[in-house]
């Protein structure tokens, strides 16, 4: 059985550290990688198909919506759950992300304990990523 692979696409180094710390605290059965930009992610996705992609909206050069639309055009990534993950998530942005192919949308947490609980659910309960829900809180 192979480890689950989570890819975070976010230009904020603090987010990458938080993700790594939380994943390390929850499991040893999960690989974690990150991309600092859509261009960086595009290069990584040439070599690996992750089990879950967390995608930030606010990034330089190409934002999360544009990148989400781009990767959803590829048959390789059509079944990869993409969690649209943003501080500025509004109902309108959430709907745009869902229309572009997001699996679910999550507003970035300020409470790390709540975020850790959410990550535990995502790691352990893959069915959460396959439903039609557009929000997981």
Q: List, for residues 27-69, the tens digit of each pLDDT value.
A: 767 888 999 999 999 999 999 899 899 999 998 889 999 999 9
The CATH number of whichever domain residue 50 belongs to comes to: 3.40.50.2300
Distance (Å, whole) CA 69 – CA 67 = 5
Given a cut of 50, whether residue 131 has pLDDT beyond it is no
In a domain, 137, yes or no: no
Q: Where are the alpha helices (DSSP H) in the chain?
A: 13-26, 38-44, 64-72, 91-100, 112-124
Question: How high does pLDDT run on average in the chain?
Answer: 84
Q: List, for residues 14-35, the tens digit of each pLDDT value.
A: 989 988 888 888 876 788 899 9
pTM: 0.86
Q: List, for residues 76-103, the tens digit of each pLDDT value.
A: 888 899 999 898 899 999 999 999 999 9
Split into its structural domains, the chain has a count of 1
Q: Mean pLDDT throughout 106-113?
A: 83
What is the domain range of residue 44? 4-129
In a domain, 136, yes or no: no
Environment class of residue 34 by beta-carbon count within 10 Å: exposed (0-12), middle (13-18) or buried (19+)? buried
In a domain, 29, yes or no: yes
């Amino acid at each position: 059985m192979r480890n689950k692979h989570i890819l975070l696409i976010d230009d904020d180094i603090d987010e990458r550290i938080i993700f790594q710390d939380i994943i390390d605290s929850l499991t040893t059965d999960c690989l974690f990688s990150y991309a600092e930009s859509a261009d960086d992610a595009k290069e990584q996705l040439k070599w690996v198909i992750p089990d879950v992609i967390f995608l930030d909206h606010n990034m330089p050069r190409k934002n999360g919506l544009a990148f989400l639309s781009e990767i959803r055009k590829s048959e390789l990534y059509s079944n990869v759950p993409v969690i649209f993950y943003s501080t500025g998530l509004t109902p309108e942005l959430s709907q745009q992300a869902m229309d572009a192919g997001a699996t679910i949308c999550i507003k970035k947490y300020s409470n790390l304990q709540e975020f850790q609980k959410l990550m535990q659910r995502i790691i352990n309960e893959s069915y959460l990523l396959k439903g039609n829900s557009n929000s997981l809180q």
